[in-house]
Amino acid sequence: MPYATAAVAARALLVSLPLLLAATPAPAPAPAAAGWSAAPAGGGRPSFYAEGAPGAVIEDTVAVTNRGTRPLTVRLRAAGTGAAGLRVVFAGPAAAALDIPARTRAEVPFTVTVPADARPGDRTGEIVVRDADGRESAVRLLFRVGGPELAALTVEHVAVRGDRITYELVNRGTTALVPRLAVHADGVLGAVLDRAPRTLRVHLLPGRRLKLDEPWPDRPALDAVTVRLTVTAPGAPEATGRASARFVPWGATAGTAAGALSAVAAAALTVRRRRRREPSRGGALT
């Protein structure tokens, strides 16, 4: 069934549409609950998919087929669409409860309203149908808000907590991102951690914030370090986050720990000074 895009003012006309009942069932996917199933009307679609500009109202229809020999009562709701910034409204009595006679298919129109200030990008949700026994069938809703695509992300709140590096990734753009992460840490005497970039197993949607952590089981027992996280994604500028931490042996007093760190720093400074003072051994004798 093709999608129809209407102006926002047309929504009132749509929600007043009568509930359509068909006397013969149409082909549908394998039922998720005994004796009945839910699917996009028209057949041939595993899920709902639509595109629209900010402020648009998109119309579609969900079909609930009762293949049983007894009447069926179901309730319809939208799940996950509020968090995605979409408003879903069902027409007629489906907004409360829907009674479907035996061996009958009910087709329920609904609208998806895109906020006027919605940012471009992909949104996801579900149309969920639930019967009186608590059994559910969910149909996925995929929506793309039109507009220019922008890939941008940041890495924030980097911290070293025990043997883990915690951080947050934020998608600041309008497209879904699969980030790559590189980890580097410098101690008093040089690099103590250097992990090459790798692809993270996350799918970061526009506007979403995700808390992650990086294991560091072999961190130094005694050192002062600066950790640097570098995150990239296709089309997005490189993002960097930093954090500092001091490691001291368990049981050490504050004074002993401070003295030990000072000693390590002094040793590193002495080595560097000696290297600068050593004469070059490759010159010719005069």
Please tell me the CATH code under which domain 153-276 is placed: 2.60.40.10
Per residue in 222-235, pLDDT tens?
Answer: 999 999 999 999 99
The answer to whether domain 4-145 and domain 153-276 are alike in fold is yes
The answer to whether 18 and 108 are in contact (CB under 8 A) is no
Per residue in 156-210, pLDDT tens?
Answer: 999 999 999 999 999 998 888 999 999 999 999 999 999 999 999 999 988 889 9
**Within 10 Å of residue 93's Cβ, how many Cβ atoms?**
13
Domain boundaries defined on the chain: 4-145, 153-276
What is d(CA 25, CA 191) in angstroms, rounded to the nearest whole number?
Answer: 68
Question: What are 61's strand-pairing partners?
Answer: 109
Superfamily the domain 4-145 falls into? Immunoglobulins (2.60.40.10)
